[in-house]
């Protein structure tokens, strides 16, 4: 019975244009996260991970595709590794500077906007330290957060949107068309599912993730860099304010 229901859902999802499919898949995933967050907040992360993995799977089964069709492949691992190392070296100092500026900004926001990121009384001195249970964070951010999100957004959605809008001007070796920008926008809007306005800022790293996906043809490098950015934020948090 479950298999039949999944098959019907997959056929309904993939019926029609690639644009319809992409927006429906995003809407289903976003809606499920919102409901989970409102009903039982700790479940939102689990629902997000399962949705990001399951929704592309529905489309794969209908079209007899494999994960390689959406970039989950090691075929370009050397390129993925090279771009990951380059972006990590370039972005780390910029990210750290942005983190410090963001903390100063929070100190001037009302608590109703800052939410759980309530401002600290000044920015303590930096003292490098890793979060507690750091290896668990590495596994969590790599396999539970970054890889499912990249498979869904850069692998699946960006592919379907590219099928809807194949055009775009080439710049820096990739096509910067409507599909590229729409994927980054949906990624940012998707982070509003847990009602934290500041998460719209992920639009900017999403451009780098999308570029890596287009440049190498896989989501592996983008997932690694995505996880690295999240872990870097945790390390900065621990180094300034103690373990999260």
Domain segments of the chain: what residues? 72-241
Under a CB-based contact definition with an 8 Å cutoff, are residues 224 and 76 in contact? no
What tokens appear for 78 in the block?
A: 């050397």
Query: Which tens digits make up the pLDDT trace of 143-166?
Result: 999 999 999 999 999 999 999 999
Query: Which tens digits make up the pLDDT trace of 209-237?
Result: 999 999 999 999 999 999 999 999 999 99
Listed range (11-25, 86-100, 103-117) with the worst mean pLDDT: 103-117
CA angle 238, 100, 223 (to 5 degrees): 65
Q: Please provide residue 169's backbone torsions phi and psi, each rounded to the nearest 5 degrees.
A: -80, 135
Q: How far is 183 from 210, CA to CA, in rounded Å?
A: 8
What pTM does this model have?
0.91
Q: How far is 230 from 203, CA to CA, in rounded Å?
A: 14
Query: pLDDT over 90 for what percent of the chain?
Result: 73
Under a CB-based contact definition with an 8 Å cutoff, are residues 186 and 26 in contact? yes
Q: How far is 14 from 82, CA to CA, in rounded Å?
A: 35
Q: Are strands 174-176 and 169-171 parallel, antiparallel or unpaired?
A: antiparallel
What tokens appear for 158 in the block?
A: 């960006």
Q: Using alpha carbons, list the distances in angstroms from residue 171 to 155, 176, 226.
A: 20, 7, 22
| Helix (H) / strand (E) containing 29 | helix 18-39
| pLDDT score, position 75 | 94
């Amino acid at each position: 019975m479950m298999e039949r229901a999944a098959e019907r859902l997959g056929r309904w999802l993939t019926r029609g244009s690639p644009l319809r499919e992409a927006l429906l898949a995003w809407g289903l995933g976003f809606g499920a996260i919102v409901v989970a967050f409102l009903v039982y907040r700790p479940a939102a992360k689990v629902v997000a991970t399962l949705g990001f993995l399951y929704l592309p799977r529905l489309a794969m089964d209908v079209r007899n595709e494999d994960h390689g069709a959406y970039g989950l492949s090691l075929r370009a691992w050397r390129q993925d590794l090279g771009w990951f190392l380059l972006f990590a070296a370039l972005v780390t100092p910029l990210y750290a500077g942005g983190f410090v500026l963001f903390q100063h900004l929070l100190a001037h926001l009302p608590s109703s906007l800052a939410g759980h990121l309530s401002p600290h009384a000044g920015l303590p001195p930096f003292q490098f330290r890793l979060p507690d249970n750091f290896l668990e964070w590495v596994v969590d951010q790599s396999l539970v957060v970054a890889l499912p999100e990249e498979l869904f957004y850069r692998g699946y959605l960006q592919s379907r949107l590219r099928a809807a809008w194949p055009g775009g001007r080439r710049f820096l070796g990739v096509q910067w068309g409507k599909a590229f920008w729409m994927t980054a926008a949906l990624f940012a809007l998707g982070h509003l599912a847990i009602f934290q306005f500041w998460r719209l800022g992920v639009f900017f790293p999403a451009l780098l993730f999308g570029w890596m996906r287009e440049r190498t043809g896989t989501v592996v490098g983008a997932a690694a860099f995505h996880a690295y950015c999240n872990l870097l934020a945790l390390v900065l948090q621990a180094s300034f304010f103690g373990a999260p």
